[in-house]
Amino acid sequence: MMAEKLDLNTLVEDHRVHRRIYTEPQVFALEMERIFESGWVFLGHDSEVAAAGDFKQVRFGSQPAIMTRDEDGAIQVLMNRCMHRGATICQEERGNARHFRCWYHGWTYNGRGELVGLPYPGGYGKNFDRSRFSLIRAAKVANYRGLVFASLSADVEELPDYLGKARYYIDLFMDLSPQGAVEARAGTHKYGYDGNWKFQMENGVDGYHANFVHQAFFEIQGKRLGRRVMKLFNETSPLESKDLGHGHSLLDTAPRRSSPRLVSNILRGQVPAEIGDAYVQSLVARNGEARAAEILAASNVNLAVFPNLLIIGIQLRNVIPISFNRTEVFLTPTTLCGVHEAINVARLRAHEAFYGPAGGGAPDDVEMFNRCQAGLAVKGAEWLELSRGLERETVGEDGVIAAHLTDEVPQRAFYKRWREIMCGVATAARPSVTLAAAGS
Ligand SMILES: [Fe+2]
């Protein structure tokens, strides 16, 4: 078979990306190595493993792992691979267990990954050292306001530095709770699609598609609420898209309002007035008038945290690459700690209206991912155009790049980072990849 040298650096330009970043298994393999196995990856929320022994299965790209809370209350991230003959030791998606026991030959590990059970140990001689057979652990685990990230490489910056300007928006999301904390224990919507993982990361912060993909939903909602939702997403919208640096980006989809009183109108009709008022007052008491208004106004952002977390509405969305043309997405709604139940019920009902398999909006996005992957099989048209708004970008004093909501600022932000990591632009030069030649 003929082989060609393909320079990854030529696949991403400032304003367009090559179709092969979605269609080449070898590019996918390198993404797993350089992005998902070398840097911070979002795994879940700490409330998902609230009690000692709670666990859930997670992934670093293709590699299966377990996030669990050990007896001392620490979150451990253990690779799901028996140190004996390689079988996965955890099959349940989530649960509570004191030990993980491999079903093949019974090797058993505790919540710290230590080998504590070895059947018929006499067969292993006197010098057999169990401590050499602990499960592999993630090199780094860190928690930012309940969001758990881990890295298989120790050579990463500290998580708060990594999150950078995205922290401001994560703080707003968490501070919607008068206790400053959310829980992610209301269940998870899951879906998969026959397309590349990057489609979902692009789409979660895409302000251009909404009026087309979600037209039917917006029209129905408009009739129901008497509001013209589509105005928020058309050319005259006052809203912005932003590049926060580090590959993180934002659709700022909440109109700015100056007082908590005005913002509390958002809740009108969803919860009884006195409950809405009490909630707003609790935020003012904790944060002060101005900050409470800021928090409430930002309660509807679409935030992308590179490489695999989207915070949209009330949900944490975890994007899980399976192969170059297969992706799974876990979508976990959050509830606010310290509020009247009616507030959380209203949040969940609003979430369900759009998201999940029976939602009015999200399934339409998934269909687009399938269509993109199918369309990219066409050769001859090699590039995907991401230039929208390039000429009207502004750069703030804080370095944040902004343009209109419908502009492709977030997608450019994502690929700027992708290119840095994949091509080593910011670090040492990476070697070219050898790919099989087309048609060989
Ligand atoms: Fe969408």
- Ligand 1 mean position to 290 CA, how many Å? 31
**pLDDT confidence of residue 230:** 82
- Ligand 1 mean position to 325 CA, how many Å? 19
Question: What proportion of the chain, given as a percentage, has pLDDT over 90?
Answer: 77
- Ligand 1 mean position to 49 CA, how many Å? 30
- Token pair listed for 195: 């397309």
Identify the DSSP state of 36: I
- Ligand 1 mean position to 317 CA, how many Å? 13
- The residue type of 359 is G
Whether residue 254 has pLDDT greater than 80: no
**Burial call 14-37: b when 16+ CB within 10 Å, e when fewer:** ebbbbbbbbbbeebbebbbebbbb
Question: What proportion of the chain, given as a percentage, has pLDDT over 70?
Answer: 92
Its pTM stands at 0.93
DSSP for 200-262 reads: HHHHTT-SSSHHHHTHHHHHHHHHHHS--GGGGGSTT---EEEEEETTEEEEE-S---S-HHH
Q: Which tens digits make up the pLDDT trace of 380-428?
A: 999 999 999 999 999 999 999 999 999 999 999 999 999 999 988 654 4
- Ligand 1 mean position to 213 CA, how many Å? 6
Domain 45-144 shares a fold with domain 163-254+298-423: no
Q: Which of 167, 154, 170 is nearest to 245 (CA)?
A: 167
- Ligand 1 mean position to 167 CA, how many Å? 24
Q: Can you tell me which residue has the tokens 């080593």? A: 424
- Ligand 1 mean position to 18 CA, how many Å? 23
- Ligand 1 mean position to 71 CA, how many Å? 41
Does domain 45-144 correspond to CATH entry 2.102.10.10?
yes
- Ligand 1 mean position to 191 CA, how many Å? 14
- Ligand 1 mean position to 214 CA, how many Å? 6
**Burial call 157-176: b when 16+ CB within 10 Å, e when fewer:** eebeebbbbbbbbbebbbbb
Extents of the domains making up the chain? 45-144, 163-254+298-423
**pLDDT confidence of residue 425:** 66
- Ligand 1 mean position to 70 CA, how many Å? 38
Q: Which residue has the higher pLDDT, 354 or 378?
A: 378
**CB of 166 closer than 8 Å to CB of 248:** yes
CATH topology of domain 163-254+298-423: Naphthalene 1,2-dioxygenase Alpha Subunit; Chain A, domain 1 (3.90.380)
Q: Which tens digits make up the pLDDT trace of 364-392?
A: 999 999 999 999 999 999 999 999 999 99
Whether residue 350 has pLDDT greater than 90: no
Task: Of 51-65, 92-106, 268-282, give the lowest mean pLDDT range.
Answer: 268-282
Is the N-terminal amide bond of 307 cis, ω within 30° of 0?
yes
Q: Which tens digits make up the pLDDT trace of 73-109?
A: 999 999 999 999 999 999 999 999 999 999 999 999 9
* CB-proximal residues (5 Å) to ion ligand 1: 365
**CB of 89 closer than 8 Å to CB of 82:** yes
Residues for the chain: how many in total?
440
